[in-house]
């Protein structure tokens, strides 16, 4: 089955580009940009990737992102990820970036977005991999900072298709960002949000009702509310689930306890994604294999994850045809 999974065409919908920073590139960029990091080797970096919850990961993730300074750094980061996509037969990817993780340290918004965008364009022309870019607001920062970020995005509406919400879920409810999301929608951005990763099922319902999002990132805690699961099925509201991430951040203790295959069989539009693959130990194929090892599926079920991802993607109907 692993051969089938490897060759299966894939679509990724939940991927933080800063979370693809492999230790080798982190060390190279730290040296190139004279940034001090508390690690001297790839082994030391990998040894630090022992997380006990979302926050313990986020602390290391933001620290790692500090080595990204110049447009070329963002290009190199994105290009390395696209080459991994090619290995895993990922045909289309919708990428998050966290502008505030960089603008807060004095890096220009334009530097970040132009570097990523240049690599994505090269991905289309040289690898045939299509993509969309989604800008996430950091939910631990305030509304004012999110509004400022939305303003900075105005000059890049040709490059950014939507807005999302990530970082610390607990203590930062959706209503903090209701007005920003309303304005983003009025400006033509599509909307998604992380919800129900560490927080309860209510966070998912609130993100749907207050932020008017069209798909949910993670959302695995929906299972705690049967009426919510029913709504997800009947309205075909997609979940971008990240199995290896959920194990690394202890959302589930073991993959055998993960609910993704149950949700699939209940008719929820669930998809498989890698989230922050450099930190969580696997890209797309690794995530599919880990799920199938713990919850053996037939080929039609495995392929359904790709059909779901095509349906849940932000590509046009004609682009959807190409992916099918």
Cβ-based nearer residue to Zn ion, 27 or 135? 135
Q: Is 73 in the site for ligand HPA (CB under 6 A)?
A: no
Judged by CB under 6 A, the number of residues near ligand HPA is: 11
d(CA 222, CA 201): 5
Beta-carbon contacts of residue 7 (< 8 Å; ≥ 6 apart): 89
Name the segment binding Zn ion (CB under 5 A); options: 59-67, 104-112, 248-256, 267-275: 267-275
Binding of ligand HPA at residue 100 (CB under 6 A)?
Answer: no
Q: How far is the CB of 245 from ligand HPA (least distance, A)?
A: 5
Number of residues that bind Zn ion (CB under 5 A): 1
From Zn ion, ligand HPA, none, interface partner of 197 (C-beta below 5 to 8 A by class): ligand HPA
Q: Give me the residue label for tokens 């099922």.
A: 201
Choose which of 245, 271, 274, 306 interacts with ligand HPA (CB under 6 A).
245
Pick 123 or 219: Cβ nearer Zn ion: 219
Q: Which of 87, 85, 109, 89 has the alpha carbon at shortest distance from 98?
A: 109
If binding is defined by CB under 5 A, does position 275 make contact with Zn ion? yes
Q: Provide the minimum distance between the beta carbon of 101 and ligand HPA in the complex, in angstroms, as a whole number.
A: 9
The minimum distance between CB 249 and ligand HPA, in angstroms, equals 7
Q: Is 144 considered catalytic here? A: no
Integer-rounded Cα Rg, in Å, for the chain is 18
Q: Under rule CB under 6 A, which residues in 17-36 are in contact with ligand HPA?
A: 19
CA dist 178 to 163, 175, 212, 283, Å?
A: 12, 5, 9, 32
- Residue 153 and residue 188 in contact, taking contact as beta carbons nearer than 8 Å: no
* Only segment of 57-65, 79-87, 183-191, 269-277 that touches Zn ion (CB under 5 A): 269-277
Residues 137-176, one symbol each (x = binds ligand HPA by CB under 6 A, - = not), give: -----------------------------xx---------
Shortest-Cβ-distance residue relative to Zn ion: 275
22, 71, 197, 198: the active-site residue: 197
Sheet with strand 162-166: strands edge to edge: 10-16, 90-97, 130-138, 162-166, 190-195, 215-218, 239-241, 270-272
Between CA 69 and CA 75, with CA 42 as vertex, the angle to 5 degrees is: 30
Among 5, 11, 26, 54, binds ligand HPA (CB under 6 A): 54
Residue nearest ligand HPA, CB atom distance: 166
Nearer to ligand HPA, 9 or 173 (CB): 173
Q: Residues 177-216: x/- map of binding to ligand HPA (CB under 6 A)?
A: -----------------x--x-------------------
Of 240, 217, 315, which Cα lies nearest the Cα of 324?
A: 315
Instruction: Please give the residue ranges that form the binding site for ligand HPA (CB under 6 A).
Output: 16, 19, 54, 61, 166-167, 194, 197, 245, 275-276
Catalytic center residues: 197
Instruction: Please give the residue ranges that form the binding site for Zn ion (CB under 5 A).
Output: 275
């Amino acid at each position: 089955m692993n051969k089938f999974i490897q060759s299966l065409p894939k679509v990724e919908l939940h991927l933080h580009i800063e979370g693809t920073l492999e230790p080798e590139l982190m060390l190279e960029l730290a040296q190139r940009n004279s940034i001090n990091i508390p690690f001297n080797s790839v082994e030391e970096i990998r040894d630090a990737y022992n997380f006990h919850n979302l926050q313990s990961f986020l602390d290391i993730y933001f620290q790692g992102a500090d080595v990204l300074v110049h447009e070329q750094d963002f290009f190199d980061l994105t290009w390395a990820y696209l080459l991994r996509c090619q290995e895993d037969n990922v045909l289309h990817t919708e990428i998050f970036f966290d502008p505030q993780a960089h603008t807060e340290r004095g890096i220009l918004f334009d530097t970040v977005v132009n570097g990523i965008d240049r690599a994505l364009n090269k991905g289309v022309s040289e690898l045939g991999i299509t993509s969309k870019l989604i800008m996430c607001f950091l939910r631990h920062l305030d509304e004012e900072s999110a509004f400022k970020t939305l303003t900075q995005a105005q000059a890049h509406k040709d490059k950014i298709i939507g807005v999302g919400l990530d970082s610390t879920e607990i203590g930062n409810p959706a209503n903090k960002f209701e007005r920003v999301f309303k304005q983003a929608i009025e400006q033509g951005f599509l909307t998604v949000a992380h919800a129900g990763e560490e927080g309860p099922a209510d966070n998912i319902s609130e993100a749907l009702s207050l932020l008017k999002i069209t798909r949910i990132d993670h959302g695995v805690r929906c299972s705690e509310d049967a009426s919510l699961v029913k709504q997800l099925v009947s309205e075909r509201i997609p979940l971008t689930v990240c199995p290896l991430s959920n194990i690394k951040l202890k959302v589930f203790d073991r993959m055998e306890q993960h609910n993704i295959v149950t949700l699939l069989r209940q008719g929820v539009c669930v998809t498989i994604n890698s989230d922050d693959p450099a930190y969580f130990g696997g890209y797309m194929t690794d995530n599919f294999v880990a799920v199938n090892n713990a919850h053996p599926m037939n080929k039609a079920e495995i392929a359904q994850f790709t059909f779901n991802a095509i349906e849940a993607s932000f590509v046009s109907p004609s682009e959807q045809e190409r992916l099918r």
